[in-house]
Amino acid sequence: MDTDVEDADRTVGLNLLAPIELCRQALPGMIERGRGHVVNISSTAGVGCWPGIATYCATKAGLTQFTAGLRADLKALPVGTTLVEVHIVPTEMGDELAAYGPTAAADRRMRRMGVLTHVDLEKLVQATVKAVAKDRRHLRRPRRASLIATISEAPRRSTEWIIAGVPPREE
């Protein structure tokens, strides 16, 4: 296990429970105003778990799934969602990941294979603003990670297709 119970609680609280609670508090006002957009920041770690960060990966997978459910709940309402799935942005957290050998080795291997690369924060911010303006459901960076995320997303998209005719909300 990659963490003690206090660290696990903190990670779950920050990465999963806080975004859920923020959405719960912000959405009524957005719906009442007739406009709004939720951006949730997830990770490529939400679609593929690496050694040393199991709890983090679980929270990001949960946030990805929550955002898909939120999108279904908001269907036919004037409030959009964008899920940002991003690989490592050079930050203090990235430095911490690099300090744990197996996690760093997984990152090096993925970069060597050309599957992933580190993401520039300024470019990520600009791309996120554009994704919201275009009402895109996903933004994945680096783009080359999209294939992995798309494959893991197939069950969610299949479910959306199956329940397409189901009313999204009870009035």
DSSP 29-94: HHHHHT-EEEEEEEEGGGTS--TT-HHHHHHHHHHHHHHHHHHHHTTTSSEEEEEEEE---SSHHH
Can you give the pLDDT at residue 170? 65
> In this predicted model, which residue has the larger pLDDT, 105 or 32?
32
Q: What's the one-letter identity of residue 150? A: T
Give yes or no for a contact between 75 and 27, defined as CB atoms under 8 angstroms apart. no
By annotation, the residues acting in catalysis are: 56
CATH 3.40.50.720 fits 5-162, yes or no: yes
Of 164, 166, 106, 160, give the one whose Cα is nearest residue 138: 160
pLDDT at 111 over 90: no
Whether residue 82 contacts residue 132, with contact meaning beta carbons closer than 8 Å, is answered with yes
pLDDT, averaged across the chain: 86
pLDDT bucket at 87, cuts 50 / 70 / 90? confident
pLDDT above 60 for 171: no
| Contact in structure between 144 and 114 (CB atoms under 8 Å) | yes
User: Which residue is it, tokens 């996120």?
Assistant: 128
pTM exceeds cut of 0.85: no
